[in-house]
Amino acid sequence: MAETTTTRLSEGEIEAILADFDRSANREIRAADAMAEALDGAEDQVPPGFYCHHDGKVCPYWTLVPALPYGMNGYCSKLREGDWEGGGGLLFDQVKECRIAVDIFEQDDLDSSGERE
């Protein structure tokens, strides 16, 4: 069985990739932005929960941008924001940043009458 290796990029290499990255020319971003326009930003299309997916449904506003390094390559067309912009995003791991349909109280926190425990 072949081993897979992960090559870590230096800070300089990452900076060079980001400097050369043309958001407006990126196919994945253009497709995600077109989807957001077609959906007119409808929030009812966003799956519930803390992630950009739920019960097999992936948020139509979410995409990965393969041209960018892992950990910096998530994009949300609803927010028109990517992990590489602003810093610290977790969109690459499908963690929501929009906070749409996120209930901080999970169903497990409710007792049988529907009241919070």
Under the banding of pLDDT at 50, 70 and 90, the label for residue 100 is: very high
Query: Residue 28 and residue 66: Cα distance in Å, rounded?
Result: 8
The reply to whether 19 falls in a domain is no
Residue 104 in this model has a pLDDT that exceeds 90 = no
Residue 114 lies in a domain: no
Ramachandran angles phi, psi of 54, nearest 5° = -165, 130
Alpha carbon distance 62, 78 (integer Å): 8
In a domain, 85, yes or no: yes
Phi first, then psi: what are they for 34, rounded to 5°?
A: -65, -40
> Is the C-alpha dihedral spanning 48, 51, 55, 60 positive or negative?
positive
In-domain check, residue 55 = yes
When pLDDT is averaged across residues 77-98 and rounded to a whole number, the result is: 90
Flag whether 76 is in a domain. yes
Number of domains in the chain: 1
Do 62 and 76 contact (CB within 8 A), yes or no? Answer: yes
Residue 116 domain flag: no
Distance between CA atoms of residues 81 and 45, nearest Å: 18
Which one, of 40, 61, 43, 65, lies nearest residue 52 by Cα?
A: 61
Average pLDDT along the chain: 86
Instruction: For residues 39 and 31, give the distance between their C-alpha atoms in angstroms, rounded to a whole number.
Output: 12
pLDDT at 36: 95
Instruction: State which residues form the domain around 84.
Output: 24-102
Q: Per-residue pLDDT averaged across 57-82, rounded?
A: 95
